[in-house]
Amino acid sequence: MPIATPEIYADMLDRAKNGSFAYPAINITSSQTITAAIRGFAEAGSDGIIQVSTGGGEYASGSTIKDMVAGSLALAAYAEQVAKNYPVNIALHTDHCPENKLDGFVRPLLAASTERVKAGGLPIFQSHMWDGSAVPLEENLRIADELLALCRAANVILEIEVGVVGGEEDGVDNEINDQLYTTPEDAIATVKALGSGEEGRYLTALTFGNVHGVYKPGNVTLRPEILKSAQEAAAGELGLGPDARPFDLVFHGGSGSTAEEIAAAVDYGVVKMNVDTDTQYAFSRPVAEWMLRNFDGVLKIDGEVGNKKQYDPRAWGKEAEAGMARRVVEACENLRSAGTHQA
């Protein structure tokens, strides 16, 4: 199917929230990882989200070029062509963007989408993330308000982060400590600054102990009940009932989370969960196995010629694609989005 329109993306998020499931958001860096992610969504019978980070955009532009906008546009163009052949809806998103990269990443991409929308077309990306976790909340929300207006003009959804995710991703490194928990007061400040959708739709990544990177279950202390408290605080501020879930929530740093923690987060309003570390490993592991199993074929040892069928990138690439696709299916099952696609 074609890349999701803004209307289809909004419907995806609404169905997730109303149906108590969430979409995996899979980081992609290449044509192979795009194909693997979309294949996984199709095999799970789930719509899904693929996303580009600043580092992923740089890499895709060429390792000696490092132009994150050019790389992101290239990945989006490839996804736009490939997604047509799969029976699910795919939304394109840009991942964590700190303040010092807004002018070199999100703003130019938003400008490109605005141009296309003014000409009667569709936005290139369906949502963009502003990562204000490193600045004071007041400044975070001031920048978010400015970006929300730009996103609304481009028919794009904004994602914000209120709180700090620990660990490291794309060079952003935060300590793992007691600061990793969003407060009800933070939630109230957010709806006061950005409203509840009337000024433009936004997704909110609240922090409840989330950590980027690789951690075994039990090594990270998640407190999903914080999401419940934030929803209740925002609902009270907006004059809604105590069971309302005004925030469309995002779960960052989910590696090592238990099935129970994931289920609780989804029940409290998570509609999108970032999955990167696990899918990186799922893509790379089959390649390592292939190379070790076919050692004599992939290397020209002792003057021999090797075996072209074994070092052909298409041979090991198919293994990598299948491995990553399987992990995407697993993520869909864990988040209860498997089988939810509506034709």
CA distance 305 to 298: 9
Q: At what angle do helices 137-153 and 184-194 cross, to 10 degrees?
A: 40
CA distance 45 to 15: 15
What tokens appear for 286 in the block? 């089959």
Beta pairing, strands 157-162 & 127-130: parallel
> Dihedral, CA atoms, 51, 203, 70, 172, nearest 10 degrees?
-80
The answer for residues whose C-beta is within 8 angstroms of residue 197's C-beta and 6 or more apart is none
> Residues 35, 49: contact at Cβ < 8 Å?
no
Q: At what angle do helices 68-82 and 31-44 cross, to 10 degrees?
A: 40
Which residues are paired to 114 by β-bridges?
Answer: none
3-state SS, residue 108: helix
Nearest to 212 by CA among 280, 265, 160, 259: 280
If you write DSSP's letter for every residue of 191-255 in order, what string do you get? HHHHTTSTT--EEEEE-BS-B-S---TTSS---THHHHHHHHHHHHHHT--TT----EEEE---T
95 among known catalytic residues:
yes
Type of residue numbered 267: D
Catalytic residue among 11, 67, 95, 243: 95
What tokens appear for 305 in the block? 């010629």
DSSP conformational letter for 84: G
Task: Say how many C-beta atoms besides its own lie within 10 A of residue 82's C-beta.
Answer: 16
Catalytic residues, which ones? Answer: 95
